[in-house]
Chains A and B, each alone.
Chain A
């Protein structure tokens, strides 16, 4: 069993955290009156800044939008991101989609799909099957280890 004197700082921490959480989520107005906590020695008072405007940030953070950055969505909420002028923007979008997707990608894919026997692989397969059939029918070996006729190779002299 924990002693009360040991528990109190823990409770103080716990309640203080709850209060802080409440203050954070509900803002400065979470404490409209001054009150003292009965469980801990915390005193909650309304902030002296209630009713006053928050000071404008004097420090320019890197994450703030740059003033000269133009948000294309402001003037033209339907912006496609190409241009400020909405007409040019839409036509640019159409040009890119039409020429990029409808012409190049579609026709290009079709072209590549219907390429006739790229690098003659299909011919090679048919030719190989034909030769194997011929050689098996004539009792010749299917393949020889010499690609070229050894009698035709002329070697240079031994140096």
Chain B
């Protein structure tokens, strides 16, 4: 892992010591090379993991998430170049440093063996994100957004700390690989239910679960583009990753605790999709669609079947790329009209046809069109949910339809129809923007050919 972490840490002196005209080139170049160093981890043997050291390991679940993280940093840097162009060089370097710091924490979180280290880094990812949202966000609401974001996650994860320390004292070690073999011969006592809750609430808030999702539309909407990208693509998946790991070590006797969260997720999935249909703010629509997709992942993780774990992992990776792509597209609109209102930039297909192609592909993957990996994730989750409970198919079917509805609504609203009177103010697409979109889409489309690497530990 050090071959990934040390170059990422060294990106910080790279940004501070670069000449200001080489700043973006250097950081983009080297962060792309770092994503190459993550690739050898893909060489996963059987169902065991690559145990690289006492502190770090990587297995079929953490490797695709690590790849996503390292791939996203250069994309974040490319996306930020326009709105940071006017800032003084020091502030640009600070911004890139925040992104790199976040990257370091995320890499270490996804590869941590020791759960306390995972926890500390899980919390540490909040700090650079908070700084990015509150310092470089666009509107005054960003302060409120930062507070919601910080305190929701902190309040959810404090019980996790208590639970981890309790497990450390009972089990003796919090090594993830050992804890999977913890034979917790416990009967049904209240303490176990509380332990389950304590473990899961942090990740439920992070995912987010429907009842605890209020921080997400605020944070996603107010964050600058790089913040939105990393929030939607990776930070939500931290919750999914944590849940996937923790369910391995919890006792199966307390699985009944999952029912309330299943209900919340099933209902919340339909609710947030419906809310998307009524949004005027483009980023808010994409944020609520993230909640909806993550509700699927929560359900898949809670039912704990091999197929559902495969679906959860595939859906996490697919949604990471798709959601980040949609935020980049929304940002390209925002940079032109300086407003997130959807109707202000409509009929774009007439003047920006290539961007319309990216919008179309992004919308098609968002609504889980076959054979994209989004479909693979959703299909596996739907099938395993059906086998868990026949009635859930009704709500899942309704959700799939409403997902298609709001995605097409977003597409038609921004791309089709008659353009506005102020359309001549809209500048043609830059190469940078087209590159950014294709760098999101090409991995997404390539993964269709070989989805085995994103199907996680139960493949």
Interface residues of A (CB under 8 A from B): 61-66, 68-73, 79-85, 88, 91-93, 95-97, 99-101, 103-105, 107-109, 111-113, 115-116, 118-121, 156
Residues B36 and A104 in contact, CB atoms below 8 Å apart:
yes
Q: For the complex, what is the distance from the CA of A104 to the CA of B73, rounded to whole Å?
A: 13
Q: For the complex, what is the distance from the CA of A118 to the CA of B44, rounded to whole Å?
A: 6
Given contacts A73-B428, A81-B82, A119-B60, contact A100 B439 (CB under 8 A): yes
Query: Which of A70, A79, A88, A113 sits near B21, CB closer than 8 Å?
Result: A88
Given contacts A64-B422, A65-B425, contact A108 B39 (CB under 8 A): yes
- A contact patch SS: helix
The residues of B that contact A88 with a CB separation of less than 8 Å are: 21-22, 25
Q: Does B91 contact A (CB under 8 A)?
A: no
The residues of B that contact A108 with a CB separation of less than 8 Å are: 35-36, 39
In the assembled complex, 22 residue pairs joining A and B whose CB atoms fall closer than 8 Å, in A order, are A62-B338, A63-B344, A63-B420, A63-B422, A65-B425, A68-B86, A81-B82, A92-B24, A92-B432, A99-B28, A100-B74, A100-B439, A103-B36, A104-B71, A105-B443, A108-B39, A113-B450, A118-B452, A119-B459, A120-B46, A121-B452, A121-B459
Distance in Å: Cβ of B234 to nearest Cβ of chain A: 18
Residues A81 and B35 in contact, CB atoms below 8 Å apart:
no
Query: Which of B39, B42, B60, B431 sits near A80, CB closer than 8 Å?
Result: B431
The residues of A that contact B421 with a CB separation of less than 8 Å are: 63
Q: For the complex, what is the distance from the CA of A80 to the CA of B82, rounded to whole Å?
A: 11
- Interface code B418-436, partner A: CB below 8 Å = 1, 0 otherwise? 0011100101101111010
Q: For the complex, what is the distance from the CA of A108 to the CA of B63, rounded to whole Å?
A: 14
Residues B33 and A103 in contact, CB atoms below 8 Å apart:
yes
Residues A97 and B420 in contact, CB atoms below 8 Å apart:
no
Which 9 residue pairs across A and B have the least CB separation, nearest first?
Answer: A81-B430, A63-B422, A81-B432, A80-B431, A99-B32, A120-B46, A65-B425, A88-B21, A95-B29
Q: For the complex, what is the distance from the CA of A129 to the CA of B42, rounded to whole Å?
A: 27
Residues B420 and A91 in contact, CB atoms below 8 Å apart:
no
Q: For the complex, what is the distance from the CA of A61 to the CA of B430, rounded to whole Å?
A: 25
B residues 64-120 touching A (CB-CB < 8 Å): 71, 74, 78, 81-82, 85-86
The residues of B that contact A104 with a CB separation of less than 8 Å are: 32-33, 35-36, 71
The residues of B that contact A121 with a CB separation of less than 8 Å are: 452, 459
Q: Does B43 contact A (CB under 8 A)?
A: yes
- Interface code B172-205, partner A: CB below 8 Å = 1, 0 otherwise? 0000000000000100000000000000000000
